[in-house]
Structures are given as C-alpha cells and as structure tokens.
Amino acid sequence: IVAVREELRDRFGEPPREVDNLLAVASFRAFARGFGVADVGAQGKFIRFAPLELRESQTMRLQRLYPGSVVKQTAGLILVPAPKEARFGGQPLRDQELLAWCRELLETVVADLAAPAPSA
C-alpha cells in the first residue's frame, strides 16, 4: 500500500483525499484480517465487527471501554456504538478518523487474539 501511494504520488502528484481514504481502507482491511475480522461496517447506530469471538475477559474489557457494546457470540460478531466527534451532540466520525478508531478498538480489545498483519 505504501508502494502504491508512492507510485501514485510520483506519477500524478499529491493524491486527493478520496485516494488517501481508499488506501487507508485497504490498509485497515489488511490489519483487521490479522485478527480474523473480515467484515467491519455500519449497522444502524453501531459499528459491526465479524467474525469475532471474544473470551469473557475481552467481552468485559469491550463493555467497560465501549459502553453500550453488544456481543453476539452465537453469530460471532460484536456491535459497538458508532463513535462521535464529541460525546454530546457531536457528528459521527468518518473516513480516516473512523478507521483509526476501529484500529484502536481492535488493538485495545482483541490484540491478544492474534498478531496483527503489518500495517502499511
């Protein structure tokens, strides 16, 4: 991903924000796969991570750090309230800020499940 970004920069100059966002999504997908997570997406007012099976200690950590989270063990997914810029009245996070939040959640809650893939 780093090589692609550099090639684009070399050929076309500084890429627009949309291209940076696309490369950030590709980097996050590779990172999430390191935890076995293949699906991250919006589901109502939640962000869905699947498949993901948490141990009891990880479930407790998730619910302590991200209040309102729902763990559906039989479905192998977790639902975490979508983050906002501010606790009250803030706009939902988007683009690279949302990806960084998702990356932090995986690192914080499930980092001991698997060694993450190298980030690019």
| pLDDT, mean over the chain | 91
Could you tell me what percent of the chain has a pLDDT over 90? 86
Residue 22 token pair: 């696309």
**Residues of the chain with pLDDT > 70: what percent?**
93
Which of 81, 50, 76, 77 has its CA nearest to residue 65? 81
pLDDT at 115 > cutoff 50: no
pLDDT tens string 86-101: 888 889 999 999 999 9
Of 72-76, 87-91, 110-114, the one with minimum mean pLDDT is 110-114
Q: What is the pLDDT of residues 48-69, one digit of tens each?
A: 999 999 999 999 999 999 999 9
- CA 81 to CA 14: how far, in whole Å? 34
Selection from 85, 80, 77 nearest residue 62 by Cα: 80
